[in-house]
Amino acid sequence: MKILLPIITIFACLVFAGPGVSYKEAIEGNKKNGKPILLEFYADWCIPCIEMEKTVFKDPAVAKELKNNFYFVRLNTEKEDQIYCEGETMRVLDCVELWEIPGIPSFAVLDKDGSLKHITTGTFEKKTFLNFLKAIRKK
């Protein structure tokens, strides 16, 4: 049982992590091909964030759209991770404050230069989120 518990924990983390890439991978990839970066700001305690992770991000059509057309980066506002924001390296939460993001979940779209293009806050149903992604792609 002692061996089984860590294996189950690792598997659960992989299953519920959802689609996405690291912030560094997104920035590097964006520089090469200009695919837009979509940042999701979330927290482990955020019930709407958890619901979106379990339903919206697991939807095959949403997952395909994210994988094919975006660098999707999930950023936990409770962690001390550093990101490049408005020309500076800072903690995720500091970037949230700088961009005046009012709550979570929030989604920020960065252009090919890594500059903030759009922010929206709140939850989405699968179809609405897919339409949101397609609208971003067309801009």
Active-site annotation holder among 13, 46, 85, 95: 46
Chain-centre distance for alpha carbon 81: 14
Q: 8 pLDDT exceeds 80?
A: no
Query: What pLDDT, on a 0 to 100 scale, did the predictor assign at position 105?
Result: 97
Q: Is 49 a catalytic residue?
A: yes
The whole-number average pLDDT for the span 39-64 is 95
Q: How many CB atoms lie within 10 A of CB 23?
A: 19
Least confident of 48-52, 63-67, 78-82, 117-121: 78-82
**CATH topology (fold) of 20-138:** Glutaredoxin (3.40.30)
Torsion of CA 26, 12, 79, 24, to 10 degrees: -10
Q: Where are the domains of the chain?
A: 20-138
Query: What pLDDT, on a 0 to 100 scale, did the predictor assign at position 19?
Result: 57
Q: Is 46 a catalytic residue?
A: yes
Handedness of CA 49, 133, 109, 122 (dihedral sign): negative
Least confident of 6-10, 29-33, 64-68: 6-10
